[in-house]
Amino acid sequence: MRLRVLSLACAAVLAACSAELPEPDSPGARLLSARCGGCHRLYAPSLMTAAMWKVQVDRMRLLFHQRGIPWLAPDEERTLLAYLERHAGTH
C-alpha cells in the first residue's frame, strides 16, 4: 500500500511538471516557455506559491548573473512574475 501511494504521488508530480501551461498564448506563458524552457523542463505554475516563485525568479536572476547570461528586461520580469502569481498554487 505504501508503495502504491508513493507511486501515485510521483506520478502526480511528474504530470504537473509536464502539464501544459495555463493561458498558453499569453505573454507570460510565452516568456516562461522561451526563456525558462530553453534550459530546463517547464513546471506548472501551480506547483509553487507566489512567494515561492518570487524566490525562484530571484535565484535564477543571480544564477544568470553568475554565469554571465543576460537576464530578463524589467518589463519581462514583471510579466513573468505576474503570470506565475496569477497561476500559483495556494500551499
Q: Write the single-letter amino acid at 42.
A: L
H helices within 21-87, ranges in order?
27-31, 50-67, 74-86
Is 91 within a domain?
no
Nearest to 84 by CA among 17, 23, 25, 38: 23
Is 57 within a domain?
yes
Is 44 within a domain?
yes
Report the number of distinct structural domains present in the chain: 1
Q: What is the pTM of this model?
A: 0.77
pLDDT of residue 10: 44
Nearest to 58 by CA among 39, 34, 76, 77: 77
pLDDT tens track, the chain, 91 positions: 665 544 444 444 444 444 589 999 999 999 999 999 988 899 999 999 999 999 999 999 999 999 999 999 999 999 999 999 999 999 8
Structural domain for 14, as ranges: 2-86
Is 21 within a domain?
yes
Is 80 within a domain?
yes
